[in-house]
Amino acid sequence: MRTTLRLFALLLLLGTAGWWVAAGKNPGWTKNKVAIEKKDEITEIVFIEYEDRFVPGVDILAAAVAGAVVLAGLSFLGRRKVAAS
């Protein structure tokens, strides 16, 4: 049980960190829209269009760290069985 909890904690931490890195290491809050810059050819005005895309931010990373700490902490709560001598 202890090993399972610790394994889950490690998987949660590494999985979320990997996802955050793969999604572009967004240093801000989680985004559900991404600004795309475009340029109008005639006026040369650079304008923004939003694309629906989920980009995890540091808030999700922090939640994963907290979750992993809780899981790892739980693994220390149970009483260790002492082998009969």
Partner 1 sequence: MKTTLLLTCVILPFAATAAEQTFDFKDPKGVNTARFTLDAPLETISGNANGVSGTLTIDPAKPEATKGSIVIDAKTLNVENAMMKEHMLGAEWLDVAKNPTITFTVMSLEDFNMSGQAAPAPGAPKGSSMDSVTATANVKGKFSLKGVEKEIAVPATVTLLKGKLGARTGGKMQGDLMVIRTEFTIKRADYGINPKAPTDKVSDDIVINLAIAGASPK
Binding site for partner 1 (CB under 8 A): 28-35, 40, 42-48, 50, 55
Q: What minimum distance in Å lies between the beta carbon of 46 and partner 1?
A: 7
Q: Shortest approach of partner 1 to residue 64 CB, angstroms?
A: 18
Residue 10, C-beta contacts closer than 8 angstroms, at least 6 positions apart? 68
Q: How far is the CB of 47 from partner 1 (least distance, A)?
A: 4
**Which of 19/29 has CB closer to partner 1?**
29
End-to-end CA distance of the chain: 23
Kindly tell me which of 22 and 46 has the beta carbon lying closer to partner 1: 46
Look at residue 53 and give its three-state secondary structure: strand
Smaller CB separation from partner 1, 63 or 72 = 63
Q: Which of 22, 79, 18 is nearest to 10 (CA)?
A: 18
Q: Round to whole Å and give the CA distance between 44 and 40.
A: 5
